[in-house]
Structures are given as C-alpha cells and as structure tokens.
Structure 1
C-alpha cells in the first residue's frame, strides 16, 4: 500500500460545520449591534481559525476591528459557539464509508484542524468519528496553525510515519499549502469552504468527490467496475 497514514482536515472535509459557525458569528454580530451576514458569505471567512473568522465577520461591513473589538467579539463568538457547536453540523456524504475503507486497509488516521481542542473532541464524539483517529492535532496543539506545515509534521511524528508515507485530505488553501510545505501529497474535496475560491485553484495532487473516491485514489479500495 502506498500510504501508511491518512491525515484529514475537519471543517469542510469531514463535517459540514458552517451552520453552527455562521450561527455563532451572526449571534456575535447581533450582540454587537450589527446586521446578520448571509451564511454563504460567512463560509468564505472560515479556514484560518476562530479569531480570523471573528475578524472577518466584524470587518464585513467595512468596519475597523481594533484589538478591543476583536477581543470582545471573540469572547462573544466563543460563548455562542459553545451553545451551537454540533447542533446543526453533520458528516458529509461518504465520510463514514471512506473512513471505514481506510481503516480496513490498515491505515493510521489523524485529524489536523485549526479548530481549538475545546470544540474538536466533542464534535468528533458527537458525530461518532472519534474512534477512527489515532491522533488529533488542533489549532492550539502546536505554536503554528495551517497553512504552516508544523501541525501536519507533528501529526506524522506522533504517528511515527515519515511524511512521504502520509496523505493529506482537505478542502482549502490552508490544507494544500500546509501539505505542500510538509512534502505530503494532498487530495482536495470540492464541497468544502476554501475561502470562496474554486477548488481547482488549489495546488493539490487530485480533486476527489468524496472520501470513498479518496480511498480508491490511494489504493485502499477497489474502483467499481464500469458497465459494459
């Protein structure tokens, strides 16, 4: 088998968390006297962690987000996200099937996300995914977040797998750049967020429609036979 370990992003790759993230961002804006922002727009602000989501949401109307406002907004957002996280999020189609294919092939698996530890573990448990993963690297595990390669390389070290034996599966430029800098092949999924940019713009090795297709690409599952 080509890969010993498979690394996954979380938001936009395993789970559709936009309803919860957008709900918390708009609740924050409401508390600060701001009008709500459409969910599809807030989705383009996701990818670099909660603080960047808050900053972008605060600046949506052209407002200046100074340090005091960002601190107030982040505290407010976090309070609302604690209430909303997991309430409307759900795994994407093919996630459970794909994870089972990778596990059946004997791959070690890890999550590498910019989401904080506080929310990552509960989300994985809530959706019945936590037992698939040998390692979970969160946005506060290392001193740097994606697109820095540090969290990706840290996951490989924890799995005791050389980077050239790992595969990263994600949906955004942060995933692609982190994998590229770590020297790890990367598959991109088209249904994620990617800050509003087309997935075709990513420096990925391939674009796959689901984790099932990702397992097939990695040689961890047979492709269905084409009809005659």
Structure 2
C-alpha cells in the first residue's frame, strides 16, 4: 500500500527554504553583512545551515549566541535583527537556486488540479519576492510567511490556517517539506507529509522523521500525490 493510498488529496502545502529553494547562500550573505556591521567574526555555509528553519528570531539569536555571551547577545539583538532585515532585502534571491524537480513538481501539481499554498517561516515579503523572481508566484493560491500568523512551524497553526484559506480539510491536504518543523507541524494539524532529503534538517537524518514518506524530489512527490 502506498504512502498516500488512503488519502484523497485536494491541496498541497509546500515549504520554501530547503524544499523549493537552496537559499543557504542568501542566508549566509545576509548574516555576514549583519556581522560585519557588528565587528563580529563571519559565518560560513555549514554553520548557517545548522540554524535555518525556525524563523528569523531564532536564526539571529543563534548566530549571536555563538559569538557573544548571553547579556551581550541580548543587548545586540534588536540592532542585529534590523541590520539583517536590511541585508536580506538587498540580496534576496542573489545566491538562491531552485532544487532539481522543484519547479516541475509545482507545475505538475497545478496542472493536476491540486490547490497550492506556500507556508514558510521566512518573512512573507522575502518569500513572496523570491517566488516572484523565479516565476513561481502565480502557481500558488496563497503564500504565508513566518510573520503571517501568531505562531510559526512547528506549531500547527500555519498549516491549519493554510487549509482554511485553500478551502480544504486537513485530511485532504499533504505537506511537502525538508525538516522536523514541517513533519511536526503537519502531524499536529492532522495533515499527511512528504519529506525531501536534500534540505536543512538541522544536520539530522530525515529518515528519523514522523512522515508518510521520503521523496527524492518535488516532482516525485507530485507523482505520488497524483497517483501516476
């Protein structure tokens, strides 16, 4: 029996960073712009990847916490947060690439009549801007960022609100993501989940996640959802 054989899927909720796009280069460039202004040591790609996925506040706090004691990190947070936002706006998409099969998977789902929402912990303006740059904005019925709701993934609230906006029930929905945040949020919302293995699961194997299946690409996920 297949991973989704017992489901009638009408909608898919797709994560952005680590699922649709490899954006670790954007994060690293923005963080280094921020750190340069603070006179702090720079960050490399491998360290950046450890922190991606839990929202901007967590990202900034983690980076500062690795460079300053707790009091100094707390005192610098507001300045660092503002500087990071400025830097990210400037470079958004400059170092990002679509993962193989990502655009094709989105197109297949759309053509198959599946309603689509992008739900990410990235601020909405950055998420919408990135999708527009790569010509994907029109494929999604809704885009929600980490600042769209009172809570972020792994809280189930964004998933539930996306289902509401799409006009579907959680049982008719599948979440596509790359990390524990996506799997936990989907499970808590009563949504099936498919996880890709190439993203930013905080350095941990995705095989340990509580999901319906691991799929190699979003195009493979689309074939599973559409049962062809």
Calculate the TM-score normalised by the size of structure 2.
0.93
5+ unaligned residues in a row in structure 2: which ranges? 1-6
How many angstroms does 1:221 deviate by?
Answer: 5.5
Deviation at 1:62, TM superposition (A): 5.6
CA distances 1:127-181 after superposition (whole Å, capped 9, x unpaired): 1110110011111111111110000000000011000000000001111110010
Paired position in structure 1 for 2:63: 57
Structure 1: where are the runs of 5+ without partners?
223-228
Measured in 2, the distance between the counterparts of 1:59 and 1:181 equals 30
Equivalent residue for 1:226? Answer: none
Mapped partners of 2:30, 2:110: distance in 1: 34
Deviation track 1:27-70 (CA, whole Å, cap 9, x = no partner) reads 21121111112211111101111111111111124632543311
Corresponding position of 1:16: 22
Counterparts of 2:87 and 2:78, CA distance in 1: 14
Answer whether contact 1:12 1:191 (CA < 8 A) is retained.
yes
| Structure 2 counterpart of 1:109 | 116
* 33, 37, 42: which one aligns with 1:31: 37
Q: Which has the larger displacement, 132-141 or 149-158? A: 132-141
From 182, 190, 201, the equivalent of 1:183 is 190
Residue in structure 2 matched with residue 167 of structure 1 by the alignment: 174
Q: Tell me if structure 1 keeps the 8 A contact 2:65–2:73.
A: no
> Using the alignment, how far apart are the partners of 1:192 and 1:70 within structure 2?
27
* Number of positions where the alignment pairs a residue of Structure 1 with one of Structure 2: 221
Aligned to 2:3: none
Whole-angstrom CA distance in 2 between matches of 1:80 and 1:135: 26
Give 1:43's aligned residue: 49
8 Å CA contact 2:64, 2:73 repeated in 1: no
Matches for 1:26-175 after TM superposition, within 5 Å: 26-61=32-67, 63-64=69-70, 65-175=72-182
Structure 1 moving runs of 4+ over 3 Å? none
